Amino acid sequence: MRPLRPEAPLTLALGERTYDVTSRALVMGVLNRTTDSFFSPAATYELDALFDRAARLVAEGADLLDVGGVRAGPGDEVTEAEELDRVVPVVEALHARFDVPVSVDTWRASVAAASFAAGAVLGNDISGFQDPGYLAAAATAGASVVATHIRLRPRVADPDPVYDDVVATVRTVLVAKAREAVVAGIPAPRVLVDAGLDLGKTPAQSLELLRASGELATLGFPLLLSASNKRFLGDRLGVAIDARNDASLAAAALGVSLGCRVLRVHDVRGTVRVRDVLASVLEAA
């Protein structure tokens, strides 16, 4: 398997910063202000714990921080007002305390808009822009966005998804969503794409999409990989969530070698080391 280095330079714009991601991936540290996240539930719900973790992730080399207030999977209702209360003050504080871009993990346009006003520069929307006001909010704020494939909607169980060709379907949707963002006024360097592993995919389908990262990385937009500690890794190894870190690092290494250029992860220190080794390989390619 030959490491993939884009033939043309690839850049990603986040706020006032522009990153050359031709051969070096960015590491996005996860900050969940939730009570029921799939990984370490409620561990960083309290603000002191969350800010301690943020400081640790930045010290370990995180290039950006991703804040979310609602888990992707089914769970108790989180109202718009509650999500705003969970996320916006955190975004504002992170923006003030740390010299790294802040991403907001939300599919609500209102939460995205308030977060952009508070200092976030990236809207990580796993719904694929299902809220009709999302792209307008990002364009108005000059923010970047992640166009993600999901079969149904966030918070809706999808235990047995069926595709004629999962890679072709995801590729088609990502191209359409990325173009939708550009048409809405978001410049192409501010648009990322994400195959949405485990979002309406079986473990086998997620593995197939991970293998197809090289194809999805040729769409002209930086490819985000969100594989850290996910179900498809645990299913392959037969291990619980707290025993998936090695598999997560392996997925990150494979993803970078195939063209993924943003890695959304829980283990920043380990992923930074993987990224740096792969960057050396790709730069020499």
> Any idea which residues carry the catalytic annotation?
230, 264
Residue 106 token pair: 């939300």
At 44, give phi and psi (nearest 5°): -125, 30
CA-derived radius of gyration, the chain: 17
d(CA 237, CA 106): 30
Cα angle vertex 61, ends 9, 218, to 5°? Answer: 25
HEC string of 134-147? HHHHHHHHCCEEEE
d(CA 202, CA 189): 31
Is there a contact between 100 and 119 (Cβ–Cβ < 8 Å)?
no
How does DSSP classify residue 3?
Answer: P
Residue 42 token pair: 């409620």
d(CA 228, CA 250): 10
